[in-house]
């Protein structure tokens, strides 16, 4: 029983640690990707600034266009510095959680997750068998049941039986008995029946019965709560996948829009402000897609935690 008492909290502790590490990993993955986005964005701004600088020297561009390009370049340079700082901070956090110093060039897998076709009923059934919180509530109910049964033992008579074998040998001198030996079995039987002890036994039984009812209600409530959490997490997971798909299509459109805007900008058909809007639109689309994929992964982990499968997932 002592082993069962410690196993459940240990499972919950391991699950919590795994979730912390997984969250830190995905935070690092997002930071690395956003650093790459900031680097690409800065490259576009550098090309724009160099073009405006050359045009200004040739007298074919307004000074305001050069200043606007310079502002964009400064803004994107600052964004890259912040992204680099975020990546370093995220890398240190993950290193601390896994107790291992990761190199600066650490990268993360960027594989796009596939939609898991889970059944709500199957997830709920799996959680009842594997969820650590439900297991802990079941253990508490089982302990309360045993305590209640022990409380009833106070009304039952108790029988005690004692037995033994005695051996004694004595010798003496000076005309007195020189030897005296005795041996034999001895035993006793006792019957005890409690009659009255100030209602203490009855009170103890009532308390244990109340405790058992409380533990039973807690188990039922825990099961209902986990089922509700699973349904919420599953709905959010499916919705996040749809959002990720939408952001993927939006990213493709934003990339096409930037390429077209760059052509028009180079031919002088649109202003630098319009080109900047297309550039920022692509940056925003990349960031939203990255955030959507990270959220999808985290919701997937939450479902695995609720169903008690996170420890068995490779």
Residues paired with residue 184 on neighbouring β-strands, in sequence order: 166
End-of-domain residue from the set 110, 132, 158? 110
pLDDT on residue 253: 95
Q: How far is CA 201 from CA 151, 154, 195, 214, 215, in A?
A: 7, 6, 10, 20, 21
Q: Are residues 134 and 103 in the same domain?
A: no
CATH of residue 229's domain is 1.20.1600.10
Six token digits for residue 111: 């594989």
* Residue 44 domain-assigned (yes or no): yes
Residues 106 and 188 grouped into a single domain = no
> Stretch 82-93: mean pLDDT, rounded?
94
Say if residue 161 is exposed, middle or buried (CB neighbours under 10 Å; 0-12, 13-18, 19+): exposed
Structural domain contains residue 246: yes
**Percent of the chain with pLDDT strictly greater than 90:** 34
Q: Are residues 81 and 141 in the same domain?
A: no
Residue 286 counted as domain residue: yes
CA dihedral 133, 134, 136, 137 (to 10 degrees): 120
> 284 and 197: one domain?
yes
- How far is the C-alpha of 198 from the C-alpha of 234, rounded, in Å? 56
Q: Which of 32-41, 113-122, 256-265, 285-294 has the lowest mean pLDDT?
A: 113-122
Kindly state the average pLDDT of the residues 93-121.
84
Alpha helices in 59-109 (DSSP H): 63-98
Identify the domain containing residue 56 by its residue range: 1-110
Q: In this predicted structure, what is the pLDDT of residue 15?
A: 80
Residues 166 and 309 grouped into a single domain: yes
Last residue of a domain, one of 64, 89, 110: 110
Residues 87 and 79 sit within 8 Å (Cβ to Cβ)? no
Are 143 and 269 within one domain?
Answer: yes
Which among 273, 279, 271 has a CA at the least distance from the CA of 255? 279
Task: Using alpha carbons, select from 150, 286, 302 the residue that is nearest to residue 212.
Answer: 150
Q: How many domains does the chain have?
A: 2
For the chain, percent helix, then strand, then coil, each to nearest 5?
A: 75, 10, 20
User: Residue 41: its pLDDT value, please?
Assistant: 93
pLDDT at 197: 57
Domain boundary (58, 88, 110) is at 110
- Are 89 and 128 in a shared domain? no
Same domain for 218 and 86? no
Residue 176, in any domain of the structure:
no
Q: Based on the domain organization, do 64 and 165 belong to the same domain? A: no
Q: What is the mean pLDDT of the chain?
A: 82
Instruction: Classify 210 in phi/psi space as left (phi over 0), alpha (psi -120 to 50) or beta.
Output: alpha
pLDDT tens sequence across 175-187: 554 555 666 676 6
Question: Is 219 domain-assigned?
Answer: yes
Q: Both tokens of residue 54?
A: 């050359």
Token output for 58: 């040739």
Output the pLDDT for position 132: 81
pTM of the model: 0.72
What are the tokens at 194?
Answer: 């409690």
Q: Is the pLDDT of residue 119 over 90?
A: no
Residue 57 has pLDDT above 70, yes or no: yes
Lowest mean pLDDT among 118-132, 190-204, 272-286: 190-204
Cβ atoms within 10 Å, residue 40:
15
Which residues on adjacent β-strands are paired with residue 161?
A: 189
165 and 81 co-located in one domain: no
According to the model, what pLDDT value does residue 205 have?
76
Model confidence at 192, pLDDT cuts 50, 70, 90, reads low
Rounded-to-integer distance, Cα 33 and Cα 21, Å: 18
Please indicate, yes or no, whether residues 103 and 134 belong to a single structural domain of this protein. no
Summarize pLDDT for 243-302 with one digit per residue, the tens: 999 999 999 999 999 999 999 988 888 888 899 999 999 999 999 999 999 889 889 988
User: Is residue 82 located within the same domain as residue 134?
Assistant: no
Of residues 13, 8, 19, 10, the one with CA closest to residue 133:
8
pLDDT over 70 (residue 39): yes
């Amino acid at each position: 029983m002592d082993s069962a008492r410690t196993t459940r909290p240990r499972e919950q502790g391991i699950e919590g640690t795994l979730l912390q590490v997984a969250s830190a990993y995905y935070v690092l993955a997002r930071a690395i990707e956003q650093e790459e986005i900031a680097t690409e964005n800065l490259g576009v701004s550098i090309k724009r600034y160099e073009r405006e600088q050359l045009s200004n020297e040739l007298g074919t561009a307004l000074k305001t266009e050069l200043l606007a390009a310079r502002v964009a370049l400064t803004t994107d340079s600052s964004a890259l510095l912040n992204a680099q700082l975020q990546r370093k901070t995220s890398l240190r956090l993950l290193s601390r959680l896994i107790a291992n110093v990761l190199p600066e060039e650490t990268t993360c897998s960027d594989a796009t997750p596939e939609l898991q076709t889970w059944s709500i009923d199957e997830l709920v059934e799996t959680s009842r068998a594997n969820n650590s919180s439900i297991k802990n509530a079941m253990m508490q109910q089982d302990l309360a049941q045993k305590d209640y049964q022990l409380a009833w033992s106070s009304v039952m008579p108790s029988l005690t039986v004692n037995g033994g074998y005695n051996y004694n040998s004595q010798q003496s001198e000076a005309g007195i008995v020189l030897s005296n030996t005795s041996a034999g079995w001895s035993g006793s039987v006792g019957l005890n029946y409690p009659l009255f002890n100030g209602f203490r036994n009855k009170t103890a039984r009532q308390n244990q019965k109340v405790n058992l009812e409380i533990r039973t209600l807690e188990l039922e409530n825990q099961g209902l709560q986990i089922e509700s959490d699973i349904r919420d997490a599953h709905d959010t997971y499916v919705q996040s996948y749809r959002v990720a798909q939408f952001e993927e299509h939006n990213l493709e459109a934003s990339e096409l829009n930037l390429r077209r805007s760059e052509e028009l900008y180079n031919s002088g058909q649109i202003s630098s402000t319009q080109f900047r809007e297309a550039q920022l639109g692509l940056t925003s689309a990349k960031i939203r897609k990255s955030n959507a994929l990270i959220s999808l992964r985290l919701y997937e982990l939450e479902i695995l935690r609720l169903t008690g499968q996170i420890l068995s997932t490779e």
